[in-house]
């Protein structure tokens, strides 16, 4: 009887050790997640805004702008509201003004009374918060557009096979021919 109890205990220990070891190994190989705390970000950004903006903006205005930016990042697949969610691990390339345009559009859609310059400043100051929590890695070098760098495959953009056309001339691309309409 004692032998069976000892084997059961040993088996339970081995199963637990393997389970814990596999999870620990997976977490050790994955990059550390940065946790964005909206309340902390609001305080961080508000304390670093220029004096002329702190006189105009409330904490709720800053919170709304930062929330819209978080929504943008979630839409791009690089952020999640839950720490257990899998986020994209691939390179996400956006133009410098795309996040600003998104946030300005959301401010307008919700009738948030914050100037465009104030939104731009809030997002600029927020970058310091991202750096402080370790959410911004090293800058990527190389071309901004991987397709322009010569990526092959079905997703590659059509390329010109002739010289630029004058108005009303035909331009031939890899996929279609179109009439110039300038």
Q: Where are the domains of the chain?
A: 35-133
Identify the pLDDT of residue 131: 87
What is the model's pTM?
Answer: 0.58
pLDDT above 60: residue 139: yes
pLDDT in tens, 30-50: 656 678 889 999 999 999 999
pLDDT in tens, 48-96: 999 999 889 999 999 999 999 999 988 887 776 665 555 555 666 667 7
pLDDT in tens, 141-155: 666 555 555 544 444
Burial of 129 from C-beta contacts in 10 A (0-12 / 13-18 / 19+)? buried
């Amino acid at each position: 009887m004692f032998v069976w109890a000892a084997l059961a205990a040993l088996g339970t220990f081995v199963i637990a050790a393997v389970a814990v070891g596999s999870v620990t190994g997976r977490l050790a190989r994955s990059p550390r997640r940065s946790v964005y705390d909206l309340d902390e970000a609001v305080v961080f950004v508000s304390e670093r805004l220029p004096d002329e903006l702190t006189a105009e903006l409330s904490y709720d205005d800053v919170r709304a702008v930062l929330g819209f930016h978080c929504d943008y990042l979630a839409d791009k697949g690089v952020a999640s509201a839950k720490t257990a969610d899998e986020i994209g691990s691939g390179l996400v390339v956006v133009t410098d003004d795309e996040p600003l345009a998104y946030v300005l559009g959301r401010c307008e859609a919700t009738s948030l009374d914050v100037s465009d310059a104030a939104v731009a400043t809030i997002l600029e100051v927020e970058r310091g918060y991202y750096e402080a929590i370790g959410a911004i890695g090293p800058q990527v070098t190389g071309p901004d557009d991987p397709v322009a760098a010569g990526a092959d495959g079905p997703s590659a953009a059509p390329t010109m096979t002739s010289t630029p056309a004058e108005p009303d001339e035909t331009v031939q691309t890899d996929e279609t021919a179109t009439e110039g309409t300038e």
